[in-house]
Amino acid sequence: MTSNEITITLVIPCYNEEVNIQKGVLDKIGNFTQSHPNFAEVLIVDDGSSDRSREIVKDKYLEKFPKFSLMENSHQGKAFAVIAGIRKAKSPYVLFSDIDLATPLEESEKLIDEAKKGTKIIIGSRSATRKGAPFLRKIMAVGFIFIRNFMIGLKGVRDTQCGFKMFHTKSANTILDALIVFKKNRKAKGSSVSAGFDLEFLFLAQKFCFKIKEVPVTWRHVETKNVHFIADSIETIKDILRMKYYDIRGAYILK
């Protein structure tokens, strides 16, 4: 399989990202993807933004970049924006990236190289040093990994939370069908990164024997109002406990 035979839907979750959009992140995304042969479509999934994110995308970007389309959801959190994007993707592969481009889109070439080898689940992996990240965030990341490993394992996977992942679309939908914790839509209050989604998805991918390839990618810390370390960590721990409960009950079934 050659690189040009791999077509990709790029999913960009968006919640109150007016400031980032005004800084030109969508221009960077559009300029990169419009001439890149592997990217067939860019799906911006708005998670019920209360600022002008949707209006700016409609007024300025949909016509400017023909590969762009906008999906408007109610506010349910980042996980359900990503899920909605995967479900709607028309391409054989889907890549989702945080809108802040903490990992530059040029790093997608590394993930594409793995897809050419037939890998179905490819995840970006940040350096253990997390250069530029606040000290509290680094400490909490270590604690999170300990809890994750103790409760649900994920052997051989170091970084589950990098917002830069690429999936074989059909395989991803098979895994989504088996979700339980993130099966039903939630009503989110304020920003919600829904970090538990990455865990449940990768936990099921490993449980159902999909090969997961972790690829080192460039990453830089970007300050964002949509991440609240304490609240997000508590939410994630609750989700991990739910996953453990359902797994013990044998509720996770490949459909």
pLDDT tens-digit readout, 136-180:
555 555 556 666 666 777 878 888 889 999 999 999 999 999 999
81 burial (CB, 10 Å; 0-12 / 13-18 / 19+) is buried
Instruction: Give domain 3-248's CATH architecture.
Output: Alpha-Beta Complex (3.90)
- Alpha helices (H) along the chain: 18-22, 25-34, 53-56, 78-88, 108-116, 135-151, 169-178, 196-207, 229-248
Model pLDDT, residue 234:
81
Residue 129: is its pLDDT beyond 50?
A: no
Q: How many residues does the chain have?
A: 255
Model pLDDT, residue 1:
45
How many other C-beta atoms can be found within 10 angstroms of the C-beta atom of residue 223?
8
Among residues 48, 47, 73, 72, the alpha carbon closest in space to that of 58 is found at 72
Model pLDDT, residue 51:
96
Least confident window among 135-144, 162-171, 215-224, 240-249: 135-144
The DSSP bridge pattern shows strands 164-168 and 121-125 to be antiparallel
Q: Which residue has the higher pLDDT, 42 or 187?
A: 42
Among residues 112, 148, 96, 153, the alpha carbon closest in space to that of 6 is found at 112
How many other C-beta atoms can be found within 10 angstroms of the C-beta atom of residue 132?
12
What's the whole-number mean pLDDT along residues 66-82?
A: 95
Tokens of 154: 């994920």
CB 10 within 8 A of CB 42: yes
User: Hey, which residues does 10 pair with through a beta bridge?
Assistant: 42, 95
What's the whole-number mean pLDDT along residues 100-111?
A: 96
Residue 2: is its pLDDT beyond 90?
A: no
CB 94 within 8 A of CB 59: no
| pLDDT classification of 247: cutoffs 50, 70, 90 | very high
Tokens of 157: 């996977």
CB 86 within 8 A of CB 176: yes
Residue 202: is its pLDDT beyond 80?
A: yes
Residue 69: is its pLDDT beyond 80?
A: yes
For 41, the 3-state DSSP assignment is: strand
The pTM of this model reads 0.87
Could you state, in order of their start, the residue ranges of all structural domains in the chain? 3-248
pLDDT tens-digit series, residues 20-48: 999 999 999 999 999 999 999 999 999 99
Model pLDDT, residue 246:
96
